[in-house]
Amino acid sequence: MDTIFKIKHNMLALGFDLNRLTTALLYAKKTKMSFEEKCNYINKLKFTYGELRFAPHALVKKHLGIEMSEIVVIGNSSMMLLSERGINPISLFSESIFHISHIKCGSVWDFGFAFCQLDGAFADELANEQVMDITSANENIGLGPRCLFAA
């Protein structure tokens, strides 16, 4: 059996709803949230890497402006960091939080995955951090695009 299929099966067995991101993005569209409101809403829901990884690629691209290949590259890099720290890298799928930190011109500019307990204080603090819109900022402000981090 393919490794990704096994991980998806395990996430379903653990009770993860892999359609949760789809539901959230469609709700944001239905309620006519601004892009910044949508990103803050997504952060508050504390999606895991696995929930993002198994979301429909076209939907993520359309609503957040993120290519699935970018998510996979950052996920793979995060898994390498976890492995170097002696942590099972597969745990990133279910024990991480997707966080959008910066947006620019209607798409996600900087995002990452924090490895932490989903119900812990750090996760709550991260989920409540507001997205920063840098559309009018100078091009050379020293940010991303994109990032990875582990807590």
Q: Give the chain as a 3 state SS string.
A: CCHHHHHHHHHHHCCCCCCHHHHHHHHHHHCCCCHHHHHHHHHHCCCCHHHHHCCCHHHHHHHHCCCHHHHHHHHHHHHHHHHHCCCCHHHHHCCEEEEEEEEECCEEEEEEEEECCCCCHHHHHHHHCCCEECCCCCCCCCCCCCCCCCC
pLDDT grade, residue 68 (50/70/90)? very high
Q: Look at residue 56 and tell me if it is in a domain.
A: yes
Residue 147 has pLDDT above 60, yes or no: no
Q: Which domain holds residue 104?
A: 3-133
Q: Look at residue 64 and tell me if it is in a domain.
A: yes
Q: Look at residue 146 and tell me if it is in a domain.
A: no
pLDDT grade, residue 1 (50/70/90)? low
Q: Look at residue 149 and tell me if it is in a domain.
A: no
Q: Look at residue 121 and tell me if it is in a domain.
A: yes
Q: Look at residue 25 and tell me if it is in a domain.
A: yes
Q: Look at residue 151 and tell me if it is in a domain.
A: no
Model confidence, pTM: 0.84
pLDDT digits (tens, 9 = 90+) for 69-117: 999 999 999 999 999 999 999 899 999 999 999 999 889 999 988 888 7
Q: Look at residue 17 and tell me if it is in a domain.
A: yes
Q: How many domains does the chain have?
A: 1
